[in-house]
């Protein structure tokens, strides 16, 4: 199910960079860089992705440490389980009163 990227032994590790542009917003993927270690990855990410914008936070993650699904996993992994219908939103028929969600 997981994919791990291979790299030549003579290159620095590949790092994925995520940044947050303002408080209370999620981090988003900004790109990839190569660095020898986490500290250098953060410094390189700052120099490359944060010098022209308002960046509140940077994350760097070694690419080989990311575990992800593959296109072949789409159906078996994301398909809901038919024997546990209580986990589906259609199972519930509760609606909020109008005054809780409609603007006055």
- Measured distance CA(62)–CA(12) in Å, rounded: 11
Fold of 13-101: Ubiquitin-like (UB roll) (3.10.20)
pLDDT of residue 6: 57
Backbone angles phi, psi at 30, to 5 degrees: -100, -30
pLDDT of residue 91: 63
Tokens of 36: 């020898």
pTM recorded for the entire structure = 0.66
Q: Block means of pLDDT (10 residues each) for the chain, length 104 residues?
A: 57 95 92 97 95 90 93 78 68 69 64
Domain extents in the chain: 13-101
Tokens of 16: 């994925």
């Amino acid at each position: 199910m997981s994919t791990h990227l291979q790299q030549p032994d003579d290159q620095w590790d590949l790092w994925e960079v995520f940044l947050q542009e303002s408080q209370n917003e999620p981090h988003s993927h900004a790109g990839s860089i190569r660095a020898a270690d986490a500290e250098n990855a953060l410094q390189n990410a700052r120099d490359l992705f944060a010098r022209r914008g308002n960046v509140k936070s940077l994350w760097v993650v070694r690419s080989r440490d990311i575990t992800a699904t593959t296109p072949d996993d789409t159906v078996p992994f994301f398909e809901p389980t038919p024997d546990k219908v209580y986990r589906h939103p259609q199972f519930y028929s509760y609606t909020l009163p109008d005054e809780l969600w409609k603007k006055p």
